[in-house]
Amino acid sequence: MTTHKAVAYRILELCNQRGLSISGLATLAAVPASTLKNIIYDVSKNPGIVTIKKICDGLEITLIDFFNTETFKNLEQEIK
């Protein structure tokens, strides 16, 4: 799995855990819904850390909480 797909997967996972829609998360995170959809639907290949931090703030979690998953721990090196 690529890093950007792992980020999209994690956003969806967190929304599902909290019963949130993408629009709901967008409101909580003060991020345009289109930005989140672009990340999730693989339009944006490089979501910025500031956007991810806003998502974390909206969900009241830390960046460590966001990235501390088996998915991220098991990512393969993307530069070969």
Cα distance between residue 13 and residue 30, in whole Å: 19
What is the band of 78 on the pLDDT scale with cuts at 50, 70, 90? confident
Position 45 scores a pLDDT of 81
Query: CB neighbours of 2 closer than 8 A, spacing ≥ 6?
Result: 75, 78
Question: Cα separation of 78 and 80, whole Å?
Answer: 6
What domains are there in the chain, each with its CATH number? Answer: 3-73 (1.10.260.40)
pTM of the model: 0.91
